[in-house]
């Protein structure tokens, strides 16, 4: 059974940093691209970032480019999102999602339950 478990969310002040993690199990992690998708309270879905199976291809939404860094550790079956210079508008539930293939350009077939990030002073 595929499982994606996010962690690392919490309350953080504007301008500070936070690192999210996603622990994956139930599939061969290093065969698939992984993504972060967020959902602000009461709002729709927004793709944040994605990374290919071997970290060779990485993409970011314009809204986070230059502030967020995605990475993965295939030996630990884990995905990460380093979030710097956080803003109030980054407040959201952050989901980890598994891509259907190894490259970025696939749909997301499994999602975690999300970790909440709140940016506020």
Partner 1 sequence: QSVLTQPPSASGTPGQRVTISCSGSSSNIGSNTVNWYQQLPGTAPKLLIYSNNQRPSGVPDRFSGSKSGTSASLAISGLQSEDEADYYCAAWDDSLNAFYVFGTGTKVTVL
- Least separation in angstroms between residue 101's CB and partner 1 is 11
Residue 66 binds partner 1 (CB under 8 A): no
Residue 5 binds partner 1 (CB under 8 A): no
Q: What 8-state DSSP symbol labels residue 26?
A: S
Residue 82 φ then ψ, to 5°: -90, 120
Residue 25 binds partner 1 (CB under 8 A): no
Residue 107 binds partner 1 (CB under 8 A): yes
Residue 95 binds partner 1 (CB under 8 A): yes
Q: Quick one: 13 or 44, whose CB is closer to partner 1?
A: 44
The β-bridge relationship of strands 115-119 and 10-12 is parallel
- Tell me how far apart the alpha carbons of residues 60 and 103 are, in angstroms, rounded to a whole number: 14
Give the SS3 label for residue 96: strand
């Amino acid at each position: 059974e595929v499982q994606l478990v996010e962690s690392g969310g919490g309350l953080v002040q504007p301008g500070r940093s936070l690192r999210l993690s996603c622990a994956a199990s139930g599939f061969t992690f290093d065969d698939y691209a992984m993504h972060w998708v967020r959902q602000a309270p009461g709002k729709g879905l927004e793709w944040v970032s994605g990374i290919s199976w071997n970290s060779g291809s990485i993409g970011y939404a314009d809204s986070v480019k230059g502030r967020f860094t995605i990475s993965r550790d295939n030996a630990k079956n884990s995905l990460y999102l380093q979030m710097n210079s956080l803003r109030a508008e980054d407040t959201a539930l952050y989901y980890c999602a598994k891509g259907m293939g190894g490259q970025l350009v696939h749909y997301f077939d499994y999602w975690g339950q999300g970790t909440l990030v709140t940016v506020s002073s």
